[in-house]
Amino acid sequence: MSNRRYVSQLGHNEQVQQVFLASDKQLRPNRSGNLYLQLELSDRSGSIATRMWNANESDYKAFENGDYVVVGGATQLFQGNMQLIANSIRKARPDEVDEADFLTLQTEDIDKMARRLAEVLRGITNPALSALAECFLVDEEFMGKFTRAPAGMKNHHAYQGGLLDHVLSLCELALLVAPRYKDLDQDKLLIGAFLHDSAKVDELAYERDISYTDEGQMLGHMVMAMKMIDDKVKEAERLTGDPIDAALVMEIKHLVISHHGEYAYGSAKLPMTLEAVALNLLDNLDAKMASFSQLINDCPNSESNWTQYYPNLDRKLWKGVREE
């Protein structure tokens, strides 16, 4: 990897001259009527608010959101947050960019996770579920998106490859936990873990920034997954020549549409099978472990034993007694 200073490493008053990913650029007047350029600069470690004073329209037009840019300037602590005061911003040449600096997960990590996921799913013994999983695994377009998509806009696994990361983690939990409960069907739990968020590949747009697609906003990934499953079921039936039992398809769909666990979180139905109950709780566990770890680890305030208060969680998180 390059010898850059990652965003998360930047301290107060550092001189910077390196490549960033640009987004959210705006040209705005200050209170004296002078224009300045405001934007976000990011790499795989995080993002930093940036201002370039005394900018003009040609500065504004010199690059697009989503471009890699070379930025010179200095950092400054402002109202408790680090910001960057830029002196120069220009579009980067391809040879100046190391893509690995901008991906939370490296290609080899993703490949390794994808291989492990395939291995886990190929361990499914129920023939119909096995065939169904296979139809997804061999769909290159789907898997291409599945391995690039994030698991969310923010909160947890919000990075390229985050969906795969989360789904694999959930499958590993399923492998560990299922054998402990004799009435729990491991194959159903695995296929549920694999498909529960699968329509996030189309619910979110994530080529560079992460945002909701129109369909994602209007239907949501749980409803969108219905069509994906219907299509793949037909494909699996064509492939094997055997119809998949309608009740089994129904259970798989139920796993998907009930996995948020409560109506208040957009679940169209409450979990009504053992596997649906387990999927909801294990999904919740994996998501919360990831997001709470991140909130604790990323907390910039080294003087408190607590993170800030998070309104959506209605609590602060305990970081532990700081060493002095």
User: Could you say which residues in the range 232-291 bind a second copy, by CB under 8 A?
Assistant: 246-247, 250-251, 253-254, 257, 263-270, 272-274, 277-278, 281-282, 284-285, 288-289
Distance CA 167, CA 197 (A): 8
Tell me how far, at minimum, the Cβ of 194 lies from a second copy, in Å. Answer: 18
Distance CA 128, CA 244 (A): 6
Tell me how far, at minimum, the Cβ of 301 lies from a second copy, in Å. Answer: 13
Tell me how far, at minimum, the Cβ of 53 lies from a second copy, in Å. Answer: 8
Tell me how far, at minimum, the Cβ of 278 lies from a second copy, in Å. Answer: 7
* Strand pairing category for 46-52 and 81-91: parallel
Q: Looking at 100, 110, 210, 296, which residue binds a second copy (CB under 8 A)? A: 296
Q: Which secondary-structure segment (H or E) carries 171?
A: helix 162-177
Q: Report H helices in the chain.
A: 57-61, 107-122, 127-137, 140-148, 162-177, 186-195, 200-203, 214-218, 220-240, 246-257, 274-298
Amino acid at the residue 102: F
Residues 19-78 that bind a second copy (CB under 8 A): 26, 28-31, 33, 53, 76-78
Identify the CA nearest to 119 among candidates 127, 111, 128. 111
Identify the CA nearest to 161 among candidates 105, 100, 221, 98. 105
Amino acid at the residue 310: Y
Tell me how far, at minimum, the Cβ of 100 lies from a second copy, in Å. Answer: 22
Tell me how far, at minimum, the Cβ of 254 lies from a second copy, in Å. Answer: 5
Q: Looking at 62, 103, 118, 177, which residue binds a second copy (CB under 8 A)? A: 177
Cβ-contact 259, 267 below 8 angstroms: yes
* Part in contact with a second copy (CB under 8 A); list of ranges 42-50, 98-106, 129-137, 311-319: 311-319
Cβ-contact 146, 163 below 8 angstroms: yes
Distance CA 227, CA 275 (A): 21
**Residues 192-231 as x/- pattern, contact with a second copy by CB under 8 A:** ----------------------xx-xxxx-xx--xx--x-
Q: Looking at 3, 58, 303, 321, which residue binds a second copy (CB under 8 A)? A: 321
* Strand pairing category for 81-91 and 68-78: antiparallel
Q: Would you say 19 or 135 has its CB closer to a second copy?
A: 135
Q: Looking at 79, 125, 302, 312, which residue binds a second copy (CB under 8 A)? A: 79
Contact flag: residue 317 with a second copy (CB under 8 A): yes
Tell me how far, at minimum, the Cβ of 86 lies from a second copy, in Å. Answer: 13
Residues 89-148 that bind a second copy (CB under 8 A): none
Farthest CA pair distance, the chain = 74
Contact flag: residue 183 with a second copy (CB under 8 A): yes
Tell me how far, at minimum, the Cβ of 41 lies from a second copy, in Å. Answer: 18
Distance CA 113, CA 255 (A): 23
Contact flag: residue 310 with a second copy (CB under 8 A): no
Give me the phi and psi of 171, to 5 degrees please.
-65, -40
Q: Looking at 141, 207, 314, 324, which residue binds a second copy (CB under 8 A)? A: 314
Contact flag: residue 297 with a second copy (CB under 8 A): yes
Distance CA 306, CA 316 (A): 6
* Part in contact with a second copy (CB under 8 A); list of ranges 111-119, 136-144, 150-158, 316-324: 316-324
CA 31 to chain centre: 38
- Both tokens of residue 135? 């139809």
Contact flag: residue 311 with a second copy (CB under 8 A): no
Identify the CA nearest to 17 among candidates 65, 93, 77, 84. 84
